[in-house]
Amino acid sequence: MHSTDRSFPAPRAAIFDLDGTMVDTLGDFEVVLNLVLRELGLPGVDRKSIEPMVGKGSEHLIRSVLAHVNGAPSLYEQAWASYVRHYREINGRYSHVYPGVLEGLRALRGAGLKLGCLTNKPTDFARALLEAKALGGLFDVVFGGDAFERKKPDPLPLLKACEALGSAPGHTLMIGDSSNDARAARAAGCRVLLVSYGYNHGEPIRDVPADGYLDSLAEVAGWLRTVSPTALP
C-alpha cells in the first residue's frame, strides 16, 4: 500500500473498475476470442498478446485482435456477433476474483460507503460477471461501456456514476487498474487509487499518477484511515 497524498475528505462513495481490478478475466477473453477467430478462419491469439488490448471496451478489443492477426477490418461486424454469442456463454467460466477484493468491498460497504462498478465492458456482461462471482449484491449501481455516450477515460461515465450514487466527485474514490481509470478520475475531480496487479494496457502502473497504489483491495480501508482518519470507523 503506497500513498502519495495525506489529505483526503471523508468519502461517501467508491467506484470500482471491473476487469483487471476486481476480476482477472483474461481467461474468458482468451477462450472467447479464439473461438471467434476460429470461426473466421484466422490464426489464434495468446493471453500475453490479449492483455495490453483490454480496458478500452469490447469494440476496441475486437478491432485490436483482428489487426493483431492481420484480419480484414471488414470482418468486424461478423466478429462482433460471434463475440457476443460466445461471451454470453463463457462469461465468468475462466475468470477469477483477485485475492482481497471481497474483503475490501465489505469493509467499505460496512463503513457506510455507497459502491459503484464502472467498466468499459458492456453493462449486461458486467452485471452477469458480478453475479457469477457473488459480487453483484455489494454494488448500488453498475454501469458498462454502453451505458453512456462516451467511455472512460472520458470523465462523463464517472460523473454520471457519482450522480447516481448521490456523491460529489470530491467525496468519491475511483479504484482501477489503468491510465483510463486515472485519467477519468482526474478529469471528473475524483481521487484515484490504482491496483498494482492489473492490466494497464501492458504499461507499468506506477508510471501513472495516482493518489495511492494497492497490492490488494484488502488494503483500501487501511489506506483511507491513513489519509482520512475520520473516513472509516
pLDDT computed for residue 39 by the predictor? 97
C-alpha angle 118/203/155, rounded to 5°?
A: 30
pLDDT computed for residue 156 by the predictor? 98
CB count in 10 Å sphere of residue 48 = 10
Would you call 17 a catalytic residue per the annotation? yes
Residue 24 host element (H or E): strand 23-24
pLDDT computed for residue 163 by the predictor? 98
Q: Which residues, given as ranges, of the chain have pLDDT below 70?
A: 1-7, 229-233
125-163, pLDDT tens digit by residue? 999 999 999 999 999 999 999 999 999 999 999 999 999
How far is it, in rounded angstroms, from Cα 143 to Cα 165? Answer: 12
Q: Quote the cell numbers at residue 61.
A: 478489443
pLDDT computed for residue 6 by the predictor? 52
pLDDT computed for residue 89 by the predictor? 97
pLDDT computed for residue 10 by the predictor? 84
pLDDT computed for residue 7 by the predictor? 62
pLDDT computed for residue 230 by the predictor? 63
Q: What is the CA radius of gyration of the chain?
A: 17
- Give pTM, 2 decimals: 0.93
Let me know: does 181 contact 199? Beta carbons within 8 Å.
no
- Among the listed residues 17, 19, 177, 181, the single catalytic one is 17
* Record: fold of 2-24+95-227: Rossmann fold (3.40.50)
Q: HSE of 10 in the Cβ direction (CA atoms, 13 Å)?
A: 8
* Record: fold of 26-90: DNA polymerase; domain 1 (1.10.150)
Domain spans, the chain: 2-24+95-227, 26-90
